[in-house]
Amino acid sequence: MATRVYLHTEAKDVEFLIFSNPCVTIFTTGGPDSPDQLFNNMKEAFDNEALIVAAIAANTKDEIEQTLDCGLVKGHAYAVTAVKYVELDAKSSTFSSLFGHHDRIRMIRLQNPWGEKEWNGPWSDDSKEWEQVTESQKNSLGITVDEDGEFWMPWYSFVQYFTDISVCQLFNTKIFSTSRRYHEEVFYGEWTTNGVKSGAPDDFAGGCLNFSATFCNNPQFLLTVSQPGEIMFALTQREPNEGTKRRDPYVTIGIHVMKVENNRLHRIHQAMAPIGTSDYASARSVFLHLRDVPVGRYIAVPTTYAPREQTTFMLRIYSDHKVEPRLLTKHAPSKGLFGCRQPISVTRITIIEAFLEQEKGEERIYAHNELYY
Q: Point out the catalytic residue in the list 40, 41, 48, 76.
A: 76
Q: Is 76 annotated as catalytic?
A: yes
Q: Point out the catalytic residue in the list 41, 112, 217, 262.
A: 112
Q: Is 21 annotated as catalytic?
A: no
Strands 296-304 and 285-293, by their bridges, are unpaired
Residues labelled as active-site residues: 76, 112
